[in-house]
Structure 1
Amino acid sequence: MDKETARIEAFSDGVFAIAITLLVLELKIPHESDVGEVALSTLLLRQWPAYVSFVISFAFIGIMWINHHRLFNHIKRADNTLMILNLLLLMGVTAVPFPTAILSQHLGHFDDRLAVLVFNGTYVVIAIVFNVLWRYAVHEGRLLGHDADLTTIEHITKQYAFGPLLYLASFGLAWINVAASLALSFGLAIFFALPPHVAARHKREG
């Protein structure tokens, strides 16, 4: 990398890598003493909340890394405000293993609604910071390259604008149906994995 944002991108990649790796810590190996009393298959199946939490959070962090890379393909310059906003974003990313652990331990229990609210609430905050970072960078072309494709920039801005609203909808849905809320969160990860122009086309067709 030979642009101003090189160190920001390298540091961010490291943070994303560590955060996504920490998620696997919630997948526990059954104790040998327990296996003697209960079938291994049963013990593994009992961990289904951890599997669900892991998959959703892995998808979320992974797709966010893809989008972070996508943004910095267009952001060519850096200033103090951008670095602070990026640090706030990374703070949210590093926090994801915490609500993931809460969800894995409480999903399927009487208090799982609160666990899902904490889980999705974290995503709402991250989505807001992500949008603020992008909008700050693109405002009047502040930090974009001189050869920036304005059509692509517009598609990205429109796609990301739905992030906070959709994650907020997922947050609210948890009050009604926990399973539907988690399904929507996973679906949003798939949506934001789409290239901006594809997402825009699907939205128009819908």
Structure 2
Amino acid sequence: MNPARPGQRGVGRHTPGATDPSYFHRCPNTAKRALRDHQEHHRPQAPRTPQARRPASAGSTTTARWLSATVCSPSPGVGHEGVLGQRLLDHGEEYFSYALGFAVIGLMWVRHHVFYRGIDHIDTHLTVINLVYLGLIAFLPYPTRILGLYGSQPAAVILYATTIVLVNIVARVNVVHALRAGLLTEAGRREVRRREHWFIVPAVFLASIPIAFASPRAALYCWSLLFILPALQRRLAMR
């Protein structure tokens, strides 16, 4: 391009491009790309408005609401200082489910540790049964989470209760196999005999399943019977 003098327009050299028909014959591919870029550059764009959003699905909406209520810190405006405390109190069922899940998994871990402390040697069957048991323990946080989110629905209570029943049954299969295969030490046998009334925990959760169809909250109250379990076991052991 020739430099422009003061008061004069610059005169540029003509470069073949999208407006030159002969250019399409000499460089068809390059010309097509140039024409496409030219059209994209001059295409009118719709104005963006704050209301233009991608519609969210029902699942993502529910998840977003839960995350905004539990993870993001609410910022109440002036005159709404009590909103934060109320929102924290609204998640009472989740706090209950986390406390219950921690207590249940902790108790099962202690019992599992005490049981294997009395094992003299292991075999293949005991290993397989133990893997099934640990798989159920690894799955347990999921129904615990569901219980915290949907504790007022029967399906959430039934899922959690069924999982606890299965965990206790597999744990008992572990003990029975160890006894029959002679895998326990003498101290281990004495510890197992102290747990003759192992069926109380699964019985309570199993009984809560039909109750959950009528009232999920009543089924949760039914689980409170487990707090008197140690005293009840001691009374039964003294007979």
TM-score by length of 2: 0.62
1:170 Cα deviation from its structure 2 partner: 2.5
Tell me the residue number matched to 1:71. Answer: 115
1:202 Cα deviation from its structure 2 partner: 2.3
1:205 Cα deviation from its structure 2 partner: 7.5
The reply on whether 1:121 has 2:159 as its aligned counterpart is no
Q: 1:167 aligns with which of 193, 205, 214?
A: 205
Q: 1:35 aligns with which of 44, 66, 75?
A: 75
1:114 Cα deviation from its structure 2 partner: 1.2
Identity rate, percent: 27
Tell me the residue number matched to 1:104. Answer: 148
Instruction: Please report the RMSD computed on the Cα atoms of aligned residues, expressed in angstroms.
Output: 2.6
Q: What are structure 1's unaligned runs of at least 5 residues?
A: 1-25
- The one-letter amino acid paired with 2:126 is L
Tell me the residue number matched to 2:193. Answer: 154
Q: Is the 8 A contact 1:30 1:44 kept in 2?
A: no
Rg bigger for which structure? 2
Q: What are structure 2's unaligned runs of at least 5 residues?
A: 1-66
Residue 194 of structure 2: SS of its match in structure 1? helix
Q: 2:139 aligns with which of 75, 95, 108?
A: 95
Tell me the distance in 1 between the aligned counterparts of 2:140 and 2:227: 14
- Could you say which structure has the greater relative contact order, defined with CA pairs below 8 angstroms and 6 or more residues apart? 1
Structure 2 CA distance for partners of 1:72 and 1:190, relative to 1, 3 Å: farther
Q: Is the 8 A contact 1:52 1:104 kept in 2?
A: yes
1:69 Cα deviation from its structure 2 partner: 1.3
Structure 2 CA distance for partners of 1:149 and 1:107, relative to 1, 3 Å: closer
Residue 76 of structure 2: SS of its match in structure 1? helix
Tell me the residue number matched to 1:19. Answer: none
Tell me the distance in 2 between the aligned counterparts of 1:174 and 1:81: 36
Q: Which has the higher helix share?
A: 1
1:35 Cα deviation from its structure 2 partner: 2.8
For 1:177-188, list aligned pairs within 5 A.
177-188=215-226
Q: Is the 8 A contact 1:53 1:103 kept in 2?
A: yes
Tell me the distance in 1 between the aligned counterparts of 2:119 and 2:188: 12
Number of aligned residue pairs: give it. Answer: 168
1:62 Cα deviation from its structure 2 partner: 0.5
Tell me the residue number matched to 1:202. Answer: 235
Structure 2 CA distance for partners of 1:204 and 1:137, relative to 1, 3 Å: closer
Tell me the residue number matched to 2:13. Answer: none
Q: Is the 8 A contact 1:59 1:186 kept in 2?
A: no
- The one-letter amino acid paired with 1:113 is P
